[in-house]
């Protein structure tokens, strides 16, 4: 569905539900409502506050619902954040600006006594 089609579907649906009582929303207002709806849709399908009470990847439909916004990153320690360190050897990693929910994670560390060379396929 293109954004124009989404606007038409919104106006049509609202007229059908509310007859002539519905206000004539401006395009910017419809954008706002569609954005609110998109965020609510994602939250409801990430956790289980939806009709089927199934969360992210708990069934095929939920996997399909959110697969387009699933991202993966390999991050290196930040060289710009240095203050407020909890431990002298801890490391900061800057998250992407579009980060919302972390769903899976692991780390690679270097220890004096237990190193192995890893190759990470991406």
DSSP state of 90: -
Instruction: Answer for the pair 44, 50: CB distance below 8 angstroms, yes or no.
Output: yes
Size of the chain, expressed as the number of residues it contains: 122
Least separation in angstroms between residue 86's CB and another protein is 6
According to the binding rule CB under 8 A, does residue 48 interact with another protein? no
According to the binding rule CB under 8 A, does residue 87 interact with another protein? yes
Least separation in angstroms between residue 58's CB and another protein is 13
- Tell me the CA end-to-end span of the chain in Å, nearest whole number: 31
Give the residue with the Cβ less far from another protein, 3 or 58: 3
Tokens, residue 53 = 């009470």
According to the binding rule CB under 8 A, does residue 82 interact with another protein? no
Question: Mask 95-114, x = binds another protein (CB under 8 A)?
Answer: xxxxxxxxxxxxxxxxxxxx
Tokens, residue 2 = 């293109």
């Amino acid at each position: 569905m293109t954004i124009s089609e989404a606007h038409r579907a919104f106006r049509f649906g609202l007229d059908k539900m509310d007859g002539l009582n519905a206000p004539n929303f401006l395009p910017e207002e419809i954008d706002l409502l569609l954005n609110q709806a998109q965020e609510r849709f994602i939250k409801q399908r990430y956790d289980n506050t939806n009709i089927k009470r199934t969360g992210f990847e708990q069934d095929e439909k939920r996997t399909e619902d959110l697969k387009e916004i699933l991202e993966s990153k390999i991050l290196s320690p930040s060289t710009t954040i240095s203050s407020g360190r909890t431990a002298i050897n801890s490391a900061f990693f800057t998250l992407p600006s579009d980060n919302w929910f972390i769903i899976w994670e692991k780390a690679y560390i270097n220890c004096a006594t237990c190193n192995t060379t890893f190759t990470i396929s991406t």
